[in-house]
Amino acid sequence: MSTNEQTNNNNNPPDAIPNFFTEKDNMIAIYTAMRILRQMKRQLGLEAMQEYLEHYLKVVDQNNPKLSFAVTKALSYMCVEKMYKDARCGKIPE
């Protein structure tokens, strides 16, 4: 099997644990959401951005409890401190 056949469409080895943030299909949505929040912070301030974020999450949690449960479960497996440190060191996926 060639090297290209041994990797999936995200250039990860076949036995690698998938990472939500490194999946190419997710990258556009995540990046876009981050850019929206940054623009909101710049134009309206940090407090307005945080209020928007909290309200958005509250509405989605109320209207889509299955999604809320699934994300809560996924977050229980993630180390947000490591994610933060990786971002500070420039280890954001390309």
Return the DSSP state at 5. Answer: G
Specify the pTM: 0.65
CA nearest neighbour of 10 among 19, 23, 20, 21:
23
Q: What angle do CA 73, 78, 80 make, to 5 degrees?
A: 125
Q: What angle do CA 67, 94, 3 make, to 5 degrees?
A: 100
Q: How far apart are CA 29 and CA 46, in angstroms?
A: 21
One digit per residue, pLDDT tens: the chain, 94 residues? 444 444 444 454 454 455 666 677 788 888 899 999 999 999 999 999 999 999 999 999 999 999 999 999 989 988 889 888 888 887 766 6
